[in-house]
Amino acid sequence: MGKNGKEPALDVEELEKIFGTFTAVDKVSFTVDKGEVFALIGPNGAGKSTIIKMLTTLVPPTSGTAKVAGYDVVKQSTEVRKNIGYIPQLVSSDGALTARENLLLSARLYGVPRLEQEERIREALDFMGLGQFSDRLVSSYSGGMIRRLEIAQSMLHRPSVIFMDEPTVGLDPVARKAVWDHVRELRGKYRMTIILTTHYMDEVEELCDRMALIHYGQIVAVDTPAKLKEGIGKGATLDDVFSKYMSNFEENSEGGNYSEVRRNRRSIASRS
């Protein structure tokens, strides 16, 4: 992919991150085309979030290069930031503000021209179906509404690439489906490229054009869900694909360490 003449949305080469003596991300390379929905799959601690943090300029890589929307994440980090949206796993809307105030903050941080701010905010609220709740404090929102608001925040400056870290964790089935519909619309209507991490195979099946399986900081497979299933055999599911590539993960990283568990559970609790 990405070799058809036009520049890919994401071009990652030999990207590596070492914390002390621990190699969190071990020289991964992949490309994502414009308009693709691309999933990073793997057990907790496999390095998905670290990859996302490097691609969103939050953490500098130890070595290797990555280009997002054509810009280098190290040398042109400000340009990268202008062109991406990021929805972290943790809650990123301020509960002490209303939805409109949250969106206004984002508009100002991203330098959306003053005359366009109000219209963009209204459009984002309508797009996410939050118009009638826009002046309520976010602390009174349900988990699904907060997720929708976070998507609204991240699309306000019309980024070309959106990163979502476990976008539907802790949501009920109806809210999950709503998020999926919005992801599809972001791609369809605004031609955005979407990179997401998830633990749910049905989410991959529903949404993603391609997926990368990550294990111990390395990419062990990248392809479309259909091709990966074919590779296993007739009638195989994505769960079978996951099990095959992650055969020895359970003994090592069952559910992440204490602080990860605490964070995940807390973020789930504060969303529901």
Q: In degrees rounded to 5, what are phi and psi of residue 197?
A: -110, 150
Assess 226 for contact with another protein (CB under 8 A). Answer: no
Report the residue from 111, 173, 233, 235 that binds another protein according to the rule CB under 8 A: 111
Q: Give the tokens for residue 233.
A: 């055999």
Report the residue from 12, 15, 73, 84 that binds another protein according to the rule CB under 8 A: 84
Amino acid at 108: R
Contacts of 149 (CB under 8 A, 6+ apart): 93, 99, 102, 103, 128, 130, 138, 141
What's the rounded Cα separation, in Å, for the pair 22 and 17?
9
Contacts of 153 (CB under 8 A, 6+ apart): 85, 92, 93, 102, 103, 106, 124
- Considering the complex, what minimum distance in angstroms separates the CB of residue 172 from another protein? 20
- Considering the complex, what minimum distance in angstroms separates the CB of residue 116 from another protein? 12
- Binding to another protein (CB under 8 A) within 149-168 occurs at 153
- Please choose, out of 21-29, 74-82, 223-231, 235-243, the segment that lies near another protein by the rule CB under 8 A: 74-82
- Closer to another protein by CB, 58 or 232: give it: 58
Assess 86 for contact with another protein (CB under 8 A). Answer: yes
- Closer to another protein by CB, 100 or 184: give it: 100
Contacts of 253 (CB under 8 A, 6+ apart): 43, 44, 45, 46
The stretches of 3-65 forming alpha helices (DSSP H) are 48-55
Assess 16 for contact with another protein (CB under 8 A). Answer: no
- Considering the complex, what minimum distance in angstroms separates the CB of residue 110 from another protein? 6
Q: Are 42 and 243 in contact (CB under 8 A)?
A: no
Question: What is the torsional sign of CA 109, 150, 272, 141?
Answer: positive
Binding mask 23-62 toward another protein (x if CB under 8 A, else -) reads ------------------------------x--xxxx---
Q: Give the tokens for residue 102.
A: 């949250």
Assess 71 for contact with another protein (CB under 8 A). Answer: yes
Assess 92 for contact with another protein (CB under 8 A). Answer: yes
Contact residues: another protein, CB under 8 A: 53, 56-59, 71-72, 75-76, 78-79, 81-82, 84, 86, 88-94, 96-98, 101, 104-111, 114, 137, 153, 263, 266-267, 270
